[in-house]
Structure 1
C-alpha cells in the first residue's frame, strides 16, 4: 500500500522539494554575499526546515528526540548512521544551535540548487575520495574551524548509506582526525530510523507513510580513551537503539 501511494505522492513531494531548493538558492546567495555567515546560516536553517517537512507530502512523519543536555559552548562531533539523503535536512534543522557542518563529497559542490552553494560556502569539509591527502587536509581544516568557532560536525561513520537499514561497521578515520585536531570535542551518537524505507524502491516511487525518527543518544566521554574505543562505543549505542 505504501508503495502504491508512493506512485501518487512522489511527484508532489519532488515538486515541493525541488521548488524549495530553487527558491533558497538566490536567498542564500544574497545572505552570504551581503550579510555574512549569520544571515547565511539562518537561510540554510530555514531551507532545511522546509526540506525536512516536505515529508508531509509523502504522508510521512518526522520525530526528532533529544533529551540530552548538550552544551553549545564547545565543539560537538555528532556520530550517526546513514540511511538516505533525507537524513541530512533534519540533522541541520534540529541541531541548528550547534552549527553542524558535514563532510561531503567534493562532487556535490556543483550543480545542485541550494545544496551545492551551502556545501561550498557553509564551512564544512568537501573531500575528494580518490585523494586521501586532500581529504585529511580538508577534515583538519574543518577541525580548526570547529575549534575557533565552537562549531560542530556530523559524521556518518559507516562511510556509505545502509540501503537496507542494517548498520554497517563504523570507520574510524574522520572521527580520529577531528579528535586529534579538536580533542576537547564531545562525541554524541545519533540513531536514525526508517529513512532507508523512503528509497527502498529507488528514486521512484518513494515510499509513503513512513515514520522517520532521529534520536540523540547519551554523549560519550573521550577522557582517557583512544578514537577506536570512542567509535566502538558510538556504534554499540546506535546498534542497541536500532535493535541490531
Structure 2
C-alpha cells in the first residue's frame, strides 16, 4: 500500500519540494546581496523547514530528539549515518542554531535552484572527489571557518548513502582532517532512521507512511582519543540505536 499511495502522492510532494527551491532561490540571493551572511543563513534555515515538512504530502512523520545541552560557543562535528538525500534538509533545520555546514560534491554548486547558491555562499566545503589535494584543502579551510565562527559541520563517515538502511563501515578520514584544523571541536553522533525507505524504489514512486527520526546521541570529547577511536565510537553508538550491532 505504501508503494501504491506513493504513485499518487509523489507528484504532489515533488511539486511542493521544487516550488520551495524555486521560491527561496531569489530570496537567498537578495538576503546575501543586501544583508549579508546572517540574513542569508535565516533564509536557508526556513527553506529547509519547508523542505523537511514537505514530507507531510507523503504522510511521513518527522521527529527530532535531543536530550543533551549542546554548546553554541564551540565548534561541533555532527557525525551521522546517511540513508537518503532527505537526511540533509532536516539536519540543516534541526541544527540551525549550531550553523551546521556540509562537505558537498563540487558538481552540486551549479544548476540546482536554491541548493547550488547555498553551497557557493553558505561557507561549507565543496570538494572535487577526483582531486584529493583539493578536497583536503577545502576541508581544512572549513575547519578554520568553524574555529573562527564557532560553526559546526555535519559529516557522513560512511562516504555514501546506505540504500537498504544497513550502516556501512565508517571511515575516520573526515573526522581526522577536521580535528586537525579545529582540535577543540566536540564530536556528536546523530542516528538517522527510516529515510532510506522513502526511496527504496528510487526516485519514483516515493513511499509513504514512515516515521522519520533524527536522534542526537551522547557527545564525545576527543581528548586524547585518536580519530579512529572516535569514529568507531560514533559508529557503535549509532548501530545501537538502529539495532545493527553485529
Q: Tell me the residue number matched to 1:201.
A: 201
* Paired residues for 1:1-244 under 5 Å: 1-244=1-244
Question: 1:147-194, CA deviations, whole angstroms, 9 ceiling, x for partnerless residues?
Answer: 000000000110000000000000111110000110000000000000
Output the CA distance in 1 between the equivalents of 2:15 and 2:90. Answer: 19
Deviating 4+ runs (over 2 angstroms): none
Deviation at 1:221, TM superposition (A): 1.7
Count of equivalent residues:
244
Output the CA distance in 2 between the equivalents of 1:236 and 1:68. Answer: 19
Query: What is the TM-score with the length of structure 1 in the denominator?
Result: 0.99
Output the CA distance in 1 between the equivalents of 2:3 and 2:210. Answer: 11
Deviation at 1:224, TM superposition (A): 1.1
SS of 1:23's partner is helix
- Unpaired stretches in structure 1, ≥5 consecutive residues: none
SS of 1:103's partner is strand
Output the CA distance in 2 between the equivalents of 1:228 and 1:202. Answer: 33
